[in-house]
């Protein structure tokens, strides 16, 4: 059960995308309830995403040890996680983003990206070469579109190049990743996306180095098809 403090904190944060949540949750649309209230009461612990760049289940497994205390992972990210360099999802690097784009202290990197992601001026992580990707696929993506979201939706089926130095097809073969299912859900595509696979591994290893715990979680966090 949520508290009004959770609701207010997330509402003020700018990290809850009601349109994204409802597109992924037809049951919530059918019920006609407040999507943020649903997320706070049920969605967070069910692993539903408040926006495209936040995965509560993944965050809780990696940073909260499975979340035995039942903390809302988004609230934890707002209060503690972002300033600690925790990623809200494997493919968003808040510390790198804030440094590369010169954000002022106290500015939420994730909120900044969510606000500006369609401008095609900002990359969500260090492995995604935005200029390279737009040069190759910009005509297909079009203007006022999130370029990395294009990679999430189509990269797993077509092994698109996130950068000149990343051979997605070779990575897929080397790690035995299955081909993407015929599903419109981004989460289903992610499980077979070579770049997402690599970033998942890197995020877990990064956290293990910081916490001094070795590599306890990353193999089960890599969601193969």
Number of domains the chain contains: 1
- In a domain? residue 74: no
What gap in Å lies between CA 206 and CA 214, rounded to an integer? 10
pLDDT digits (tens, 9 = 90+) for 50-91: 999 999 999 999 999 998 888 999 999 999 999 999 999 999
Confidence check: pLDDT of 215 > 60: no
- In a domain? residue 85: no
Query: What are the residues facing 145 on neighbouring strands?
Result: none
- In a domain? residue 138: yes
Q: Which of 181, 112, 123 is nearest to 150 (CA)?
A: 123
What gap in Å lies between CA 126 and CA 100, rounded to an integer? 9
Q: How many CB atoms lie within 10 A of CB 95?
A: 15
Q: Which domain holds residue 195?
A: 127-225
Q: What's the pLDDT band for 16 if we cut at 50, 70, 90?
A: very high
- In a domain? residue 218: yes
- In a domain? residue 115: no
Q: What is the model's pTM? A: 0.90
pLDDT score for 216:
43
- In a domain? residue 56: no
- In a domain? residue 169: yes
- In a domain? residue 75: no
| Residues, the chain | 225
């Amino acid at each position: 059960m949520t508290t009004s403090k959770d609701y207010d904190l997330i509402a003020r944060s700018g990290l809850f995308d009601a349109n994204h949540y409802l597109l992924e949750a037809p049951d919530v649309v059918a019920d006609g309830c407040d999507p943020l209230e649903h997320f706070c009461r049920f969605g967070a612990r069910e692993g539903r995403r408040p926006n495209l760049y936040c995965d509560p289940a993944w965050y809780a497994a990696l940073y909260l040890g499975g979340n035995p205390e039942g903390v809302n992972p988004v609230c934890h990210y707002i209060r503690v996680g972002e300033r600690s360099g925790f990623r809200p999802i494997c493919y968003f690097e808040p510390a790198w983003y804030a440094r590369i784009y010169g954000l002022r202290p106290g500015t939420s990197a994730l909120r900044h990206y969510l606000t500006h992601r369609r401008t095609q001026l900002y990359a969500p992580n260090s492995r995604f070469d935005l200029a390279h990707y737009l040069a190759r696929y910009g005509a297909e993506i079009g203007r006022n579109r999130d370029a990395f979201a294009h990679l999430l939706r189509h990269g797993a089926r077509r092994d698109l190049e996130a950068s000149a130095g990343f051979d997605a097809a070779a990575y897929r073969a080397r790690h035995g990743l299955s081909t993407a299912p015929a599903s419109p859900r981004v989460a289903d595509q992610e499980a077979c996306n070579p770049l997402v696979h690599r970033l998942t591994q890197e995020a877990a290893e990064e956290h293990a180095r910081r916490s001094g715990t070795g590599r306890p979680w990353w193999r089960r966090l890599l969601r193969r098809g």
